[in-house]
Amino acid sequence: MTTSSLPGSLVLAGAGKMGGAMLRGWLALGMEGSDITAIDPFLSEEMKQIGQTQGVRLAETAEGIAAPDVLILAIKPQMLESAAVAFAPLIGPGTLVLSIMAGKTIADIAARLPALAVVRCMPNTPAAVGRGITGAVASAGVSPAQKQTATALLTAIGQVAWLDDEALIDAVTAVSGSGPAYVFYLVEAMARAGEAIGLPPDLAMQLARSTVEGSGELMFQEPRISASQLRINVTSPGGTTAAALDVLMAADGLEPLMKKAIGAAKRRAGELSG
């Protein structure tokens, strides 16, 4: 994706954890700070510094701000209702609204804002280090050029996967949106299992954490090798890894448990957006 797809003007509504990560990504991609306005009633010290050093315009409210090419909604979902009136003047005839609000559908957004072009996204927390993955779906009013712009903006925080069907957003939420927590929990579980076989707690945690960090990095650096193949590559028949995998890959092992967990997350995503 080239930087030529980046918008000429962008308003970020909500410069919190995820909005802030996106803002840092856009600046790193080469967007001019002066093309960006960040609106947030309580701007963090970091945001204030970015405003000063990179020329990003900072505002506490939407008042007096012209309609941009792209309006990013990175506020908490429960704030949409009360913020919609203030944000409505930010939407011009060509404005693309890109929402990362969990559980807010394209129809929810279109019912509250005069927006024809809406992209609904589900990013995840590794976005903070530019290694997130975002599932995205576009409304019928989004032009091919706007879709390219959305891709360029989302690429600033990692990979982008476009969905044809908005209903899949709940499944994306269950796998990648909530997924980082499963991986962090895997580290906790591995560390506790290490303790149970005699390792000091600190060492068990260091071993577990570093193993997950390194394995993730290995997958990242070897995108053409499947996860299955990477697993096979480190599993000698009859060896120690195989002994553990016999347990994890049993009929009542990790896979049915993961299906149950991810199914629960998907159901909850549906309830929250219902």
Ligand X SMILES: NC(=O)c1ccc[n+]([C@@H]2O[C@H](COP(=O)([O-])OP(=O)(O)OC[C@H]3O[C@@H](n4cnc5c(N)ncnc54)[C@H](OP(=O)(O)O)[C@@H]3O)[C@@H](O)[C@H]2O)c1
Tokens of 132: 């997130």
Positions in 166-195 near ligand X (CB under 6 A): 177
Among 13, 113, 153, 160, contact with ligand X (rule: CB under 6 A): 13
Report in angstroms how near the CB of residue 131 gets to ligand X at its nearest. Answer: 13
Among 119, 122, 133, 153, contact with ligand X (rule: CB under 6 A): 122
Report in angstroms how near the CB of residue 121 gets to ligand X at its nearest. Answer: 8
Q: Phi/psi zone of residue 56: left (φ > 0), alpha (ψ -120 to 50 degrees), beta? A: beta
What residues does 160 pair with on adjacent strands?
Answer: 134
Interatomic CA distance for residues 97 and 109, integer angstroms: 9
Cβ distance to ligand X smaller for residue 67 or 245:
67
Report in angstroms how near the CB of residue 125 gets to ligand X at its nearest. Answer: 4
Burial 29-51 (b: 16+ CB within 10 A, else e): bebebebbbbbbeebeeebeebb
Helix then strand count (H, E) for the chain reads 11, 8
Positions in 184-243 near ligand X (CB under 6 A): none
Q: Give the burial class of 168: count Cβ atoms within 10 A of its Cβ; 0-12 exposed, 13-18 middle, 19 or more buried.
A: middle
Binding mask 76-115 for ligand X (x = CB under 6 A): xx-x---x----------------xxx-------------
Judged by CB under 6 A, the stretch of 36-44, 64-72, 144-152, 245-253 that binds ligand X is 36-44
137 binds ligand X (CB under 6 A): no
Please report where in the chains the tokens 């701000």 appear, as a residue.
65
SS3 239: coil
Among 7, 14, 25, 135, contact with ligand X (rule: CB under 6 A): 14
Q: Which chain residues interact with ligand X by CB under 6 A?
A: 13-19, 39-42, 74-77, 79, 83, 100-102, 122-125, 177
